[in-house]
Amino acid sequence: MPKFRWYYIFPAIPLYVFACLPMFILHGFSDILRLLLFYVIGYRKKVVLENIRKSFPEKDEAWVQHTAFLFYRNLIDTMLETLSMATRTSQFYKNHVKVHRTEVLGEFTQKGQPVILVCGHIANWEWAGQGLHQTGIQVDVLYHPLTSEFFNWYIYFCRTRFGIHPIPMGNSLREMLQRKNIPSAITFIADQTPGPDGCLWMEFLNQDTPVFLGVEKLAKKFNYPVVYGEMVRIGRGYYEVDFSLVTKEPKEAAEFEITRKHMQLLEEYIIKHPENWLWSHRRWKHKRPVKTKDVSV
């Protein structure tokens, strides 16, 4: 747990006041910031446009620009909505995040069986965990600590207010061993960019893409079922979450089968809802090493 330092109170007070604002005001700020980031500052605009163009080579430039503009709304909404988590109530998440087909997870957790839940950076992934937790399912979230000590503490505080258990990536194996008797949804956000070695290379969104194998390796090690989760924005500040079973018996799955399936489900989602994915990261910055298996989705 990140340590609170007394001087955090100075940035925390204005953030807490900001978090008390009604959602329509936060979204008004979001609209202003989106115009500034897209038209004036151009925050990572080159990366965003390049990623979208290469992922959808069949689309014309007008579609690319419009999708990028919608993406910036999703990005800023998610950032401000996340900062507001310091004051939101459990009833708020029940009203704003509708969770469907929890039985896909409950089939296992109700029997005392932990489940690996694999997701992507789609819609407001922070609220997805909060919404799921309100259904009575324990949520453990693997995360990379932020470089800013204050924001690392602040986001940790926001995530844990109602009992979500964050697990630093460096402690994932140890904590999974310690919590193996707790029937939780152990959540991985698996669309980040690994280094070029020690990963799976596959075609994803029309590009040669490196993919982490952590979900598959840990699922096979512990024989935990794997479930894919996705979130759709149905309105400003309103979302729906749904689940699909990837495998009940990971040790019986062929090599790379689990990884291929959850990445295929994510790809299908992005094709349907491209504005909801996080396009601002340089996910295709690495090139495939010369001697690597050629594996496609």
Average pLDDT over residues 7-16: 96
Mean pLDDT of the chain: 94
Q: How far is it, in rounded angstroms, from Cα 59 to Cα 42?
A: 22
Q: Is the pLDDT of residue 227 over 80?
A: yes
Residue 289: predicted pLDDT = 87
User: What's the one-letter identity of residue 69?
Assistant: F
HEC letters along 179-200: CCCCCEEEEEECCCCCCCCCCE
Closest CA to 190 of 222, 218, 165, 221: 218
Q: How confident is the model at residue 197 (pLDDT cuts 50, 70, 90)?
A: confident
Sign for the pseudo-dihedral over CA of 177, 186, 259, 205: negative
Q: How many CB atoms lie within 10 A of CB 278?
A: 20
Contact indicator for 125, 187 with CB cutoff of 8 Å? no
Q: What percent of the chain has pLDDT over 70?
A: 98
Q: How far is it, in rounded angstroms, from Cα 172 to Cα 176?
A: 6
Q: How far is it, in rounded angstroms, from Cα 193 to Cα 175?
A: 23
Q: Is the pLDDT of residue 293 over 70?
A: no
In this predicted model, what pLDDT tens digit does every residue of 48-92 receive, in sequence order?
A: 999 999 999 999 999 999 999 999 999 999 999 999 999 999 999
76: CB partners within 8 A, 6+ apart? 30, 33, 34, 37
In this predicted model, what pLDDT tens digit does every residue of 25-45 receive, in sequence order?
A: 999 999 999 999 999 999 999
Contact indicator for 211, 55 with CB cutoff of 8 Å? no
Contact indicator for 242, 230 with CB cutoff of 8 Å? yes
